[in-house]
Amino acid sequence: MDSGIRGQPEERVSEVDQVSHLAVDIGGSLIKLVYSSSNETSGVEKGETASDDILEVSNGSDNYPIHYGRLHFAKFETSKINDCLEFISSKQLCRSGSWHHVTSDNHRIAIKATGGGAYKFADLFKEKLGVSLDKVDEMDCLVAGANFLLKVDGDGKFERVSGTSVGGGTFWGLGRLLTKCKSFDELLELSYSGNNRVIDMLVGDIYGGTDYTKIGLSSTTIASSFGKAISENKELQDYRPEDVSRSLLRMISNNIGQIAYLNALRFGLKRIFFGGFFIRGHPYTMDTISVAVQFWSKGEAEAMFLRHEGFLGALGAFVSHESHSLGTS
């Protein structure tokens, strides 16, 4: 895949000079697109839901001998999959599949796709865009995407050692129920001006303002997330959404940091890479996760973050090898 395109019919060359490759990662809450263009003019215009993140990849690593030109990153809420299909259609991205599953019907196009939605929405892509989804395993893609960003020569071997149901979906799901926020980003932004001490029960709240020094807990350590909300004097509407959002973010970031660290311990790892849309480059989220890893590891372990971390799966699908393919439908 020297040019990022394989088995492509000749008449499409001019098209592909502009948009040469597309891969999708369809998760439970978000659809992530990664596609490449070989010149700047074909860059995606900033839309309501599409991100305009662009990554210059002029020279691929040895492991990925590619020349993609510019990589584009776009996302849509999975519930608005029709917007995504329309975006693909209007940008003519669906004409840029990798076409390596060309059948007797020369125009059969396959897009590399990962995430559960690659199964769930296969028929919809077929019906609306006339393209097949060439499914690539989700974990394979995450690892390939991380390796791509790290420019690491991975050997493709990995093990899924744990997981958690408490993450970005929980932040946004609980956040929507608790505040009037209309979007994940709005909720996250609110948290910046919030104060979690209004709702969280701190060690100092229990110990009358003092630390619990014997076990090394300062008075500001959170003893119970949302623990102050048990008060009978206040209802949901009496709390500022900023404070609710902040408590939620700290609860989830701390928890993710702790579970990640405990798993890293099992394998003697000191550096933990975090990815996923929960993070998306937001400094406070990264800071909270970093602090959590530092806290639980007593400074022994470190949290690491990658740019474009939300697109690991889509990137992995984008650079996927045929060996990862789970079959086309």
Residues that bind a second copy (CB under 8 A): 27-29, 77, 79, 115-117, 119-121, 137-139, 160, 162, 164-170, 172-174, 176-178, 184, 199-201, 203, 205-210, 212, 214-215, 222-232, 235-236, 239, 244, 251, 254-255, 258-259, 262-263, 265-266, 296
Residue whose C-alpha is closest to residue 172's, from 282, 88, 83: 282
108 Cβ partners below 8 Å, 6+ apart?
101, 102, 132
CB nearer to a second copy: pick between 99 and 274: 274
Q: Least distance from C-beta 184 to a second copy, angstroms?
A: 8
Environment class of residue 4 by beta-carbon count within 10 Å: exposed (0-12), middle (13-18) or buried (19+)? Answer: buried
Q: Least distance from C-beta 174 to a second copy, angstroms?
A: 5
CB nearer to a second copy: pick between 102 and 166: 166
DSSP string across 216-251? TB-TTSEEETTGGGG-TT--GGGS-HHHHHHHHHHH
Q: Least distance from C-beta 125 to a second copy, angstroms?
A: 12
CB nearer to a second copy: pick between 41 and 165: 165
270 membership: H or E segment, kind and range: none
Q: What is the dihedral of CA 51, 57, 58, 63, to 10 degrees?
A: -160
Q: Least distance from C-beta 275 to a second copy, angstroms?
A: 15
Q: Least distance from C-beta 152 to a second copy, angstroms?
A: 22
CB nearer to a second copy: pick between 64 and 274: 274
Q: Least distance from C-beta 250 to a second copy, angstroms?
A: 8
Q: Catalogue the E-assigned strands of 46-121.
A: 53-57, 69-77, 109-114
Q: Least distance from C-beta 307 to a second copy, angstroms?
A: 24
The tokens for 319 are: 């650079």
Pairing mode, strands 19-26 and 30-37: antiparallel
d(CA 114, CA 318): 10
Q: Least distance from C-beta 34 to a second copy, angstroms?
A: 19
CB nearer to a second copy: pick between 106 and 237: 237
CB nearer to a second copy: pick between 66 and 260: 260
CB nearer to a second copy: pick between 234 and 271: 234
48 Cβ partners below 8 Å, 6+ apart?
none
d(CA 14, CA 23): 20
CB nearer to a second copy: pick between 14 and 267: 267
Residue whose C-alpha is closest to residue 74's, from 41, 25, 110: 25
CB nearer to a second copy: pick between 13 and 236: 236
Q: Least distance from C-beta 154 to a second copy, angstroms?
A: 18
User: What's the Cα-to-Cα distance from 306 to each of 145, 161, 177, 325, rounded to whole Å?
Assistant: 11, 21, 30, 25
The tokens for 21 are: 């490759």
149 Cβ partners below 8 Å, 6+ apart?
306, 307, 308, 309, 312, 315
